[in-house]
Amino acid sequence: MEFIKSAISTIAANGPPFLFVLILVVFFHELGHFLVARLCGVGVKTFSIGLGPELVGWYDRFGTRWRISAIPLGGYVKFVGDDNIASTPGADELATLVPSERELAFQSKSVGRRAAIVAAGPFANFLLAIVIFTGLVAYTGRLDNSPTVGAVVAGSVAEAADLRAGDVIVAVEGEKIETFLDIQRMVSVRGGQQTALTYERTGVRRTVSLVPRLQTVETREGPQSRGLLGVQRNMIPVGPIEAVEAGFSQTWMVISTSGVYLGRLLTGNESLEQLGGPIRVAEISGKVAGFGFAALINLVAVLSVSIGLFNLLPVPLLDGGHLVFYAVEAARGRPISERAQDIGFRIGLALVLALMVVTTWNDIVRHPSM
């Protein structure tokens, strides 16, 4: 009971940014399914943001019930012919349809169209990430990896040492610096230690002695102590084409990084402790929102990619599981039996519920007070 109270308190405290992030990601995922279903001639009975009882709802001119539901932890699109909101095929449901309605049923469409509709959800998530990353790069520019100071953090060691934007750091403790990452690498291991830093300003080289501030930061390996100088990278303006290229590049980077983590997780080389549930997402949303809207919308892009990848897992009940069934159907020329699909969906439900238990347990462990 104490955990439930604390969980509700955490989510409520971070409510606006949490809902903004989650609803935007879920909406675009379901919108992908919805739009491609319409293009393929499938009737859509319900488009819901959230689960559980309906709070607000209305019908569009095509007869689709748009609804906002009470539990903002997901959403769904229910097609004509679906047995339930998980889009499992229902012979009983199809039997009740008149011929004109049966033509609109999801199950009446070719395997290629059904696969396209299912794949459209994750694809929409990836597209959302590309658009967001492209917009952010176009607005802010790209990070310059040269050792040029773009900005100095107020109250930092760098400010106390009179470092300024435009200064070029050329050496730390006599070691030549070529990139901004070199600065981070050298300074991070010298927290609390006297350090000689050489920089160039308007063609003149100067050397200053300073002590990088030792600070604990959160990493994937847990809290670590690092030395911080308090300088930020320079931002370089980019054109539209370069911004789009950066949008694709950053999206692919998130996909590949997540893919590597997932692979290590499945092979037992990565801990399940890194996984988090809604409480973790709410906390991160609240913290990120404190850095401004750009940081929050960046989180939307990262989470959108993660949701897209998760849904592509070959687990029955998820989009990836449906795609596996359709691939088998295409190969053998006929659908998998309804009983086999039902067993698959039950297994998928068990796996998803197990994942929910793991992520909830991790949230509890991260918050002993719960």
**Which residues carry out catalysis?**
30
The answer for residues whose C-beta is within 8 angstroms of residue 322's C-beta and 6 or more apart is 87, 114, 115, 118, 316
Indicate the burial class of 291 (C-beta count within 10 angstroms; 0-12, 13-18, 19 or more). Answer: exposed
State both tokens at 184: 């981070």
Task: Check: CB of residue 329 under 8 Å from CB of residue 336.
Answer: yes
How far is Cα 213 from Cα 219, in angstroms, rounded to an integer?
A: 18
Q: Which DSSP symbol is given to 69?
A: E
Which of left, alpha, beta for 165 (phi over 0: left; psi -120 to 50: alpha)? beta
State both tokens at 101: 């309605």
HSE at residue 363, side-chain half, CA atoms within 13 A, is: 23
Q: Which residues pair with 51 in a beta bridge?
A: 71
State both tokens at 39: 């293009």
The tokens 């109270």 sit on which residue?
5
The answer for residues whose C-beta is within 8 angstroms of residue 270's C-beta and 6 or more apart is 261, 264
Measured at the CA of 69, the angle between CA 67 and CA 70, to 5 degrees, comes to 160
Buried b (16+ CB within 10 A) or exposed e, 237-248: ebeeebbbebbe
How far is Cα 280 from Cα 76, in angstroms, rounded to an integer?
A: 23
How far is Cα 234 from Cα 166, in angstroms, rounded to an integer?
A: 8
